[in-house]
Amino acid sequence: MLRLLRINECSKKNRNIGAALLFFIFGLLFFVLAVRFITIQYTGEVKGQALAAKASQMYLRTDVLKAKRGTIYDREGEVIAEDSASYTLIAVLDETVTADPEHPNHVVDPEKTARELSEHIPLSEQEIYELLTKKERKQVEFGPAGRDLSHRVKEEIEKLKLPGIGFIKDTKRFYPNGIFASHLIGYAQREQADGKPSEIVGKAGLEQSYNKMLTGKDGSLTYKGDVWNYILPNSKKQIKEPKNGNDIYLTIDKKIQTFLEDAMNKVDRKYSPDRILAVVADPKTGAILGMGQRPTYHPVTREGIEKTWHNEVVESSFEPGSTMKIFSLAASVEEGVFNPNATFPSGKYYINKKQPPIKDHNQGRGWGPITYLEGVQRSSNVGFAYLLEKMGTDTWREYMDKFKFGQKTGIALPNEASGKILYDWPIEKVTSVFGQGTTVTSMQMIQAASAIANDGKMMKPYVVDKIVDPATGDVTETKPEVSGQPLSPKSAKEVRDILETVITSDNGTGNQFYQLDGYSVAGKTGTAQIAAPGGGYLQGRENYIFSFLGMAPKDNPKLLMYVVVEKPKLKQDENGALPVSEIFKPVMKSSLQYLNIEPEKKKEAVIIELPDLTEMNARQASAHLKEKGLVPVLLGSGEKVLAHSPKHGDTVIEGERVIIKTDGKLSIPDMAGWSKRDVLKVAKLAELKVNMVGNGYLTKQNIKPKSQVSPGDQLVANFASQADIMEKKKSENDKTDEEAPLD
């Protein structure tokens, strides 16, 4: 018993000690908490951080105020590229967001929702249903099919009143003209970098090269809000305004670009060429008014971009062919070595005995001795080889530098090519004058040709007219810049006059293709060979780069245009200049009319009354007729004028032939291309018996030119219509020498 009492007393004592220990511990903790509470109350800080600030941050909300990407306009202020509102379709699958079952906020009927949505977005009913039944997802989007939706589509879907279906508002880049200078403008698309908000980024063309200027700087809206992000009462808002991107105004004219796009579309459909390049420019300033290529792509869908994403007008170089003769002609005129009436032996030109000759495009047959003017009209490679001899290879090389071939133009577009001048070997020096071996870009050709059109001053091409800051209104303008003066005004005018005859002369390679009603055109055709991958050149009548570089009106050119068509699919009776002309002619004429360039008045025919030429000797009569603008043709080698047709007192029109019979031995002239009336004049004065076959213009005579004739001889003259003559010429041109360019 005593032992039990001792055990109880010991246990009671231990409990008292434990209770005292616990009291002490809890008392200490209470003291620490009390001190901590009083300290926080007094200082308002925890670990050096203000509690008031922390509390404020819990309610602080920040929203991004998106900056607007700059708009791209044409030179008249028409929109080419701009930001527009777009919507992303979403579906809420989380049932917990619905507080009232009678007004659900989530998708309750996936089958019905899938069926009705499939009629408004490009996804099948089954694909939509699978997205709407993903149990592990609380919210889903619909991929590309549900992004960039227009306001119209959004409204149509909202009318369906489908529970759980909503939209997120966004912006997208909009190109209202569709395919429109696509490689020049480029495109922009929304991208998201790691940890950063998504933004629209330029990926090609001007959208890419001017991306920094077009991209604005986002602003922000800071406020205090509750857990549902509603603004708390009396909350102050802090707004940092966004800075919108700069607007860019181009030199491109929407009307002219539309003319160009339409013409290229037609030629592309009709001839299926490998490539089309075309540029329209103002030669007085260097402003590019139109630029395009085929194949092309749609800037929104990017359909077709896999065929070529390069802006080939500035990024691709090629052998230009005979359009280069414009500049070798200009150099020879400026150097004073071009005499239009001097002659050269056409057909073949030998650099040395070891190499094959340079040949004219009619398989090296040539046209006999012809004048240099006719050589330009016929696009004789041989004639230009002789011109190179006259001016010297060093001089021509200097002019290529003056025209800035082999150098970038400096146009504000990415990845510009410089081309390459091959000028090491004698053959390369000769072929460079007619555009073989040396490579150029389309933009270089436009820049160089501006010197011809602009009285010797060569203008640097540009595509950006001005850049405008929408916030301040500050404007940065591009001023026209002279990039050189390779020619004098006099030489430039003479070159234009010569190039006009390429279009107007019966011998001209551009005669049947590039004449414009109401406007005079100066220009040059080109047919360049295409280098083969294994060396040499491609063979076949279609394997060429056909081109034309022209300006109008000739005396004061307002527009300059370069068109290139590579490897068109031609019918047997079609010439490669045909698809080129089907772009040049409608675009040039429509553009001149759109710019209100008055058509040129046709010169009135000058009527001349013939004097009595028998009172003069043959030389005096010939000189007098030339002075009056008539064409004298002498029959006989004597000095005394016996008769002439038309006779004394008759009226004739400027440019008409006057046949003069002298007292010398009579010889028949070359009457190719003459009318029946002129042939009869010769037959009557020479007292010949004449038998005329056909109608139109003389194509064949039985008496060879310069053969002596006597009264009573028989002259058989064959005639054909102008159309038949041109068709024959075309057939002959199609049988080209595979070793040389066509013109």
Question: For 404-419, how does the pLDDT look when each residue is reduced to its tens digit (9 = 90+)?
Answer: 999 999 998 989 999 9
Asked if residue 661 is part of any domain, the answer here is yes
Confidence band of 247 (pLDDT split at 50, 70, 90): very high
CATH of the domain at 499: 3.40.710.10
Flag whether pLDDT at 459 surpasses 90: yes
Q: Give pLDDT, residue 629.
A: 85
The whole-number average pLDDT for the span 267-277 is 96
Q: Give pLDDT, residue 239.
A: 67
Other beta carbons within 10 Å of 666: 23
Q: Give pLDDT, residue 569.
A: 93
650 and 545 both lie in a single domain: no
527 and 622 both lie in a single domain: no
628 and 586 both lie in a single domain: no
Asked if residue 267 is part of any domain, the answer here is no
Answer with the residue of higher pLDDT: 254 or 150.
Answer: 254
Q: Give pLDDT, residue 721.
A: 75
Flag whether pLDDT at 129 surpasses 50: yes
Confidence band of 253 (pLDDT split at 50, 70, 90): very high
Name the domain boundary from 568, 594, 620. Answer: 594
Flag whether pLDDT at 211 surpasses 50: yes
Whether the CB-CB separation of 560 and 281 falls below 8 Å is answered with yes
Other beta carbons within 10 Å of 174: 17
| Predicted structure pTM score | 0.74
Confidence band of 551 (pLDDT split at 50, 70, 90): very high
- Top mean pLDDT of 182-196, 308-322, 649-663 is at 308-322
The whole-number average pLDDT for the span 553-573 is 94
Is 235 annotated in the active site? no
| Predicted confidence (pLDDT) per residue in 30-83, tens digit | 766 776 667 666 555 555 555 444 444 554 555 566 788 999 999 999 999 998
Catalytic residue among 317, 322, 450, 520: 322
Flag whether pLDDT at 430 surpasses 90: yes
Strand partners, 667: 708
Spatial CB neighbours of 42, under 8 Å, sequence gap ≥ 6: none
For 236, which DSSP code? P
Q: Give pLDDT, residue 374.
A: 93
Tell me the C-alpha distance between 652 and 630, whole Å: 9
Confidence band of 227 (pLDDT split at 50, 70, 90): very low
Quote the mean pLDDT of the chain: 86
- 268, 493, 612 from 294: Cα distances, Å: 7, 34, 63
Flag whether pLDDT at 425 surpasses 60: yes
Answer with the residue of higher pLDDT: 228 or 389.
Answer: 389
419 and 539 both lie in a single domain: yes
Q: Taking Cα atoms as reference points, which of 339, 325, 462, 309 lies closest to residue 384?
A: 325
Flag whether pLDDT at 17 surpasses 80: no
Name the domain boundary from 197, 216, 235. Answer: 216
Q: Give pLDDT, residue 2.
A: 52
- 130, 456, 586, 622 from 519: Cα distances, Å: 65, 22, 12, 33
Tell me the C-alpha distance between 444 and 319, whole Å: 12
Strand partners, 371: 343
Confidence band of 512 (pLDDT split at 50, 70, 90): confident
Q: Domain range spanning residue 203?
A: 66-216
Q: Which of 22-31, 254-263, 353-362, 441-450 has the lowest mean pLDDT?
A: 22-31
Q: Give pLDDT, residue 193.
A: 63
614 and 554 both lie in a single domain: no
552 and 612 both lie in a single domain: no
Asked if residue 53 is part of any domain, the answer here is no
The whole-number average pLDDT for the span 443-451 is 97
613 and 589 both lie in a single domain: no
657 and 512 both lie in a single domain: no
Asked if residue 231 is part of any domain, the answer here is no
Q: Which of 77-81, 171-175, 281-285, 739-743 has the lowest mean pLDDT?
A: 739-743
Q: Which of 91-100, 285-294, 377-386, 554-563 has the lowest mean pLDDT?
A: 91-100
212 and 324 both lie in a single domain: no
Asked if residue 459 is part of any domain, the answer here is yes
Confidence band of 10 (pLDDT split at 50, 70, 90): low
Q: Give pLDDT, residue 526.
A: 93
What is the phi/psi pair of residue 667, to 5°?
-135, 150
Q: Give pLDDT, residue 195.
A: 56
162 and 285 both lie in a single domain: no
The whole-number average pLDDT for the span 557-567 is 97
What is the phi/psi pair of residue 432, to 5°?
-65, -30
Name the domain boundary from 594, 618, 637. Answer: 594
State the Rg of the chain over Cα: 42
614 and 568 both lie in a single domain: no
Asked if residue 9 is part of any domain, the answer here is no
Answer with the residue of higher pLDDT: 442 or 532.
Answer: 442
Whether the CB-CB separation of 622 and 306 falls below 8 Å is answered with no
> For strand 689-693 and strand 714-720, is the pairing parallel, antiparallel, or unpaired?
parallel
Enclosing H/E stretch for 676: helix 676-685
What is the phi/psi pair of residue 679, to 5°?
-65, -40
355 and 476 both lie in a single domain: yes
Other beta carbons within 10 Å of 564: 29
| Predicted confidence (pLDDT) per residue in 474-501, tens digit | 999 999 999 999 999 999 999 999 999 9
Q: Give pLDDT, residue 235.
A: 59
Confidence band of 737 (pLDDT split at 50, 70, 90): very low
Confidence band of 739 (pLDDT split at 50, 70, 90): very low
Asked if residue 467 is part of any domain, the answer here is yes
The whole-number average pLDDT for the span 296-323 is 91
Joined together, the tokens standing for residue 73 give 């306009």
Tell me the C-alpha distance between 645 and 633, whole Å: 10
- Top mean pLDDT of 216-230, 335-349, 621-635 is at 335-349
The whole-number average pLDDT for the span 239-257 is 90
CATH of the domain at 636: 3.30.10.20
Q: Taking Cα atoms as reference points, which of 259, 320, 324, 346 lies closest to residue 589?
A: 259
| Predicted confidence (pLDDT) per residue in 684-722, tens digit | 988 999 888 888 888 899 988 888 888 889 999 998 876
Q: Give pLDDT, residue 654.
A: 82
Q: Give pLDDT, residue 738.
A: 38
Asked if residue 244 is part of any domain, the answer here is no
- Give the count of domains, the chain: 3
What is the phi/psi pair of residue 56, to 5°?
-65, -40
Q: Give pLDDT, residue 432.
A: 94
CATH of the domain at 93: 3.90.1310.10
The whole-number average pLDDT for the span 663-690 is 88
The whole-number average pLDDT for the span 653-668 is 87
Joined together, the tokens standing for residue 109 give 């009927």
Flag whether pLDDT at 733 surpasses 70: no
Tell me the C-alpha distance between 423 and 671, whole Å: 43
